[in-house]
Every structure is written in structure tokens, then in C-alpha cells.
Amino acid sequence: MITAFDILLIGAVILIMLAGFAGRRMLWRKGREENRSGDLTGLAGYLIGQQLILKRRFAGVAHLFLFWGIVVFLLVIILAQFPMIIPATAARILSLGLEILGAVMLAGIIFFIIRRRQFKYISADKISPQKVLFPVIILMIILITGFLAAGTRMSIVPSDKLWVSPIGWGLSNILPGSPLLMQIMIRCHFLAVLLFLACLPFTFMRHLAAGTLNVYYRRKGNRGKLRVADLDDGYVGAKTVDDFTWKQLLDVEACVSCGRCAENCPALISGKPLSPRKIVQDISWQMEQARSNGSWLADAISGEEIWSCTTCMACVEHCPIFVEPLDKIIDIRRYQVLGCGNLPPEAKPMIRDLEIFGDVQGKGVAHRTDWALGREVSLLSDRNRATDILLWIGCSGAFHPRYRETSRSMVKLLHAGGVDFAILGKHELCCGDPARRLGEERLFQELARKNIKRFNQYRFQKIVTLCPHCFNTLKNEYPDFGGEYQVMHATEFVLDLIKAKRITPKYPVGQALSVHDPCYLGRINQIFEPVRDVCRAVPGIEIRELPRNREYGFCCGGGGGRMWLHESLGRHINQIRAEEAAKAGAELVGTACPYCLTMLEDGIAALEREKPPKVMDVVEIVASSLGAEF
């Protein structure tokens, strides 16, 4: 069957493929060093089940069939080269199985081609994914020629076991029984397979290797953590592609440009020029083209794009192969700020206030305790004994006129529950999240070190934070600077209090409530249910979910320093979300984040509805349900 020439051809194709992959590996391996450990069991589970890809129902199923089809056919082809005896029935069932698999694969491929052609790009996302159609069409040719070959064979040698190969039998009725045609079909099939193999590294099909590797080296554990920029080492962010680590470049290499990041990106949906897919594809393009001439990332990626990101992590959450566009955006921001001194002008005063006063509002640490005037809140510095709970108020809780109400509600809850707690008061500084998300890594590290020094002076068991951004920073990012503490978000803590019957919500607050999931609490730290459970504990509240909830939750538009930036491009993200909340028809919108609270309140006010829903923090909802005795 196989001639010596064929073997030579196969060898050559495998060589081309390996050389291609080696060349690609050279490209992404040139990135900076980074320690990553692989996870083989996780990879196996991922490949077998493909749950992440299956999140998109039809495309996921089609992909699953294609993946398993290729695996099974490859195995069969390789095994068929060795002489072995299989019982006739088993062979027949195998043949039927393969035929069905082939048919399903063909259906999948046709689905993919139609889908790609009909794909509707959202405004700024007009980057055409490169070299996508070619390998898919070759795959289709492989299958069609395979079926045609089977069909001609069956019309030459009619078989009585028709059920073994139903499609072949169907085709044999219309195909002439010509041995020449069969030979041509078989050669075409064979050459198409070789072409497919050879083009693997040079088209998007390289994701067979790069995607697998990317899943193998994926980030384990907490996702809210950003890479620490080693400033002493002279790293000030990504100026060119070479400043990314090899894992970041592997991300780029693995991207198949499926567009799930773009579909969920609040910036793109609201008409901003940012598309996470475009960012990754731009970097990929620069990685291929610009290595030799060292052009800047800023040449391809505009400032408007990178400053539009709300760091809501929807792109990271929805990527089926663990590509993280966010950390690339942050690294580009870092270079803009640390390397060039380019901050958006609106953010400059905020960063300056952080430098001088240590809080985002520029009120100064001396005013940190003003919100607690007349309330019994003890300071950690006044205590000689160990304290159970360190209540971390955060800049918003201490200074934002609206969110101060939430701080007071939290204090009310803690008193009602008889919790032993204290605040840092004047010793508290901003946790550094706004600075870090805006790329001001130096300032963040300075604030983090100062805060950790403070924490280490006192004895406490747990930190409870009001703001999910502080929560994420203290819990996930401070360990990198030597500050490992047990951190809880206020909603979790309040839920614990309710479960332990230390507080009991008594009075109804409202009937219908929609929950807006803060990105930093929900998507990033996977805390979805406590917010809802806390609301359910309040008598009379029925939860009416918003259309985009939990991991699909839509950003309020305030994260990543966007709180301080003007939203001059496209629609306002908070108004889109506010519209959704208003349409849901609930009288209350519960959230658990100062940014979400402010942004949604502003958004709902901008809608100018007659009966606008009231936005409340869940802590406030529980506190007002306790009544006035505390």
C-alpha cells in the first residue's frame, strides 16, 4: 500500500511540521523568564471533557467532535500500519463508528465555516483572524475525499453488510465503479492529510500544540493577582514584545481569535476602541513581524485602547484556553506610566493624592476616622490585646460620602453581632489597587509595604474588608510582599453572622431585588452566592436575577482606575448596566462594592426614570433590616 516515496513524503512533512513548531517555539520562548509549573492531570481533564469550550453550546460540541475525530482517526491510521487481527464484528462496528464520526466531523467543520463567515464583529473588533479558513477547508477536503474513496470502493466491490458503511453505500449508488477514481481519491486524501500536518505550525491550527501547552502551564489558584513588576531589576512594563514573559507570549501564540473575550468585554460592548482579542492579535503580529526591528507595542496599540480597560476580567474568565489579555494590558499600562510618565490627565491628581495623602480622595489620613464620629469604633492602636476582626474600611468607606453610610451600617452589624473588632484608623493607607490597575506599580508597592508593616505591628485574627478591590489586593496580592493574612469580604462575614444566628434580619426592606455582582468579588474571587444568601436572609426579599449575572456579570465601569477617568468614547458602561437593572423591574439593586454602588447610582440617575430602583450595598440592606435598636 505505502510506497517508499510515500514514506519519504511523510517523513518530509513531519520534518516541516517539527521545524515549524520549533520556529514558533523560538518566537515565544524568547520572552523573559518566569517560573511556571505544569499540571498534567488538569490538562488531561481539560482535553477529555473540554468543559470550558462547551460553555458555548454549538461551537463547543462541534469542537469536541473535531478534536476527538482527529485523535481517533490518527490513532486508527497509526495502528492500521501494524499487522493485527481483529474479529470481523469488531472491525465492522469500528468501521461504522468511524463513518459516523467522520460524518459528525464534517458537519462540525461546515458549521464552523458558516459560523466564521457569518461572524458579526462588534465595532472596534474589526481585526480579521488570520489564516483560519485554510486549514479548516483542508480538513473538509480530507473528509470529503475519504468518503468519496469509500464510496467508489463500495461501488467496485459491493458488500452485503451495508450497515457497516451507510454513507459509503449511499455514495456508491451515484459514483462510477472506476478504480482510477478510487486511486485519485485516495491520493487526494493522503496528500490533504499531509498538507494539513505540514500547515499546522503556520496557521491558527498551531493551537493544537500551543493551546495544549498553555492549558498545561495555566495559572493555578487565585486569578486576581497581577504579576509583580520587579522594579529593582529594571523592569518597568512592556515597551516591546520582548518585555513579556514567555508565558505571556505563549498565551498570544495559543490564541485562536475565537472572540469570546471580545463578546464579554464591557469596554467593547459600550463602543470603546478596546478589544482584548485585538490586543492579543496585535501582540501576536508584533511577535512575528517586529522582533527584528524592535518596534514598540504602542505603535500598534493606542492609548485609548489600554486606558479603556476596566480590568473586570471578563476576557480572562471567558477564554477557553486560559489566555489572559488583562495582564498584557496592565504591562503596557505600566510602561506608559513608569517608563514614559504618561497617565491620563484625569488620573494624575488621584495618583498625586495617593502619593501625598495616601488615599484616593486626597483627604489625608488625619480624616480617616471622621466617618465614625460619635460611633463606638475602637482603634487597633488603642488595644493591648489581640483582636478578632480588623475591619478594613478602605478609602471609599472612609471618605466617599455615600459609602460612609455602608461603613456605618457595617459597624452597626458588627455591634449587633457582638463582634470584637477594631479599625486601623489613621494608620490605614490605600491598599494600592487603583494605582496598580493604572500601571503605577511603584506607588502600589510602596503602599503595600507600608500597610504590611502596619499589619505586622498588631495582633488580629482576620481582616474583613468592605471593598472587593481591597479584598482582592489584601488577599491575593499582599502575599507577594510578605503579608499573608486571613482576609474575608464583608458579605461573607455577615453571612457567617447570620448563619450563626448572631444577627437576625427582622424587618422587610423591599420585595424584589436584583444582584449586581462586583467583578472583583464574583468573577475574580468566585464569591457569588454569599451576596445572594445574605439578601435571602432578609424577610420578604425575592431575588430577581439580571440577565447577565454571576460569571457573566457586566462590569459597572469603575474598576481598573476607570472610576477616575472620563468616559468620552462610546456609551457609558454604567448606564448600560443601569438600564439592565431598571428593566429587570426590581425596586432594589444589591451590590457589594463602593465603585459599583457609585457607578450604578449615577447610571440610574442618568436614566431619569420615574421610579428608579434604589442601589444599596447588601451590608446596608441587612443593617436596615435589623431595625433601630442597635
Partner 1 sequence: MKMKIIVCIKQIRHTYAQTGMDHTRHFLAPEDDVYRINPHDEAALELALRVKDTRGDTEIILLTLGPLIADEALRRCLAMGADYLYRIDCNRSPDPWEKSLALTRTIKDLKADLILCGKESIDTQNGQVGAMVAHDLKMPFISAIIEIAASRDKLQADVKRSCGRGVREEIRCRLPAVFSVDSSGIEPRIPTYEARVKAGAYPIKTIPYASNGAGRKVISGKRYPPRPRPKRAPAPDSRLDAYHRIQHLFTGSRVEKKGEMLTGTTVSQVEGIVSFLLEHGFVKTQHEEK
Contacts with partner 1, residue ranges (CB under 8 A): 231, 236, 337-343, 345, 348-349, 351-352, 355-357, 364-367, 373-374, 426, 442
Least distance from partner 1 to the Cβ atom of residue 327, Å: 19
Nearer to partner 1, 364 or 479 (CB): 364
- Closer by beta carbon to partner 1, 180 or else 366: 366
By beta-carbon proximity to partner 1, the closer residue of 107 and 231 is 231
Helix extents (H) in 308-439: 314-318, 325-334, 347-357, 394-399, 401-416, 433-437
**Closest distance to partner 1 from the beta carbon of 334 (Å):** 9
Q: How far apart are CA 578 and CA 362, in angstroms?
A: 29
Nearest distance, CB of residue 458 and partner 1, angstroms: 17
Which of 216, 357 has the CB closer to partner 1? 357
Distance of closest approach, residue 235 Cβ to partner 1, in angstroms = 9
Q: Residue 10: count other Cβ atoms within 10 Å of its Cβ.
A: 15
CA pair distance 296, 293, nearest whole angstrom: 9
Minimal distance in Å, beta carbon 369 to partner 1? Answer: 8
Q: Which is nearer to partner 1, 236 or 498 (CB)?
A: 236
Q: Tell me how far, at minimum, the Cβ of 352 lies from partner 1, in Å.
A: 8
Is 393 within 8 Å of 384 (Cβ atoms)? no
Burial readout 89-101 (b: 16 or more C-beta within 10 A, e: otherwise): eeebeebeebbeb
Q: Shortest gap between Cβ of 374 and partner 1 (angstroms)?
A: 5
Q: Work out how close the CB of 582 gets to partner 1 at its nearest, in angstroms, rounded to a whole number.
A: 37
Detail the DSSP E strand segments found in 444-577. 460-465, 487-489, 512-515, 542-543
Partnered with residue 514 across adjacent β-strands are 589
d(CA 343, CA 169): 68
Q: How far apart are CA 100 and CA 68, in angstroms?
A: 12
Between CA 458 and CA 465, with CA 464 as vertex, the angle to 5 degrees is 110
As a whole number of angstroms, the distance between CA 449 and CA 228 comes to 13
Give the separation between CA 607 and CA 626, rounded to whole angstroms: 31
Helix ranges (H only) for 500-550 are: 529-537
Cβ distance to partner 1 smaller for residue 66 or 443: 443
- The smaller minimum CB distance to partner 1, of residues 222 and 342, is found at 342
| 197 versus 338: smaller Cβ distance to partner 1 | 338
Cα distance from N-terminal residue to C-terminal residue, the chain: 88
Q: Residue 228's closest CA among 540, 480, 520, 545?
A: 480
**Pairing relationship of beta strands 460-465 and 487-489 according to DSSP bridges:** parallel
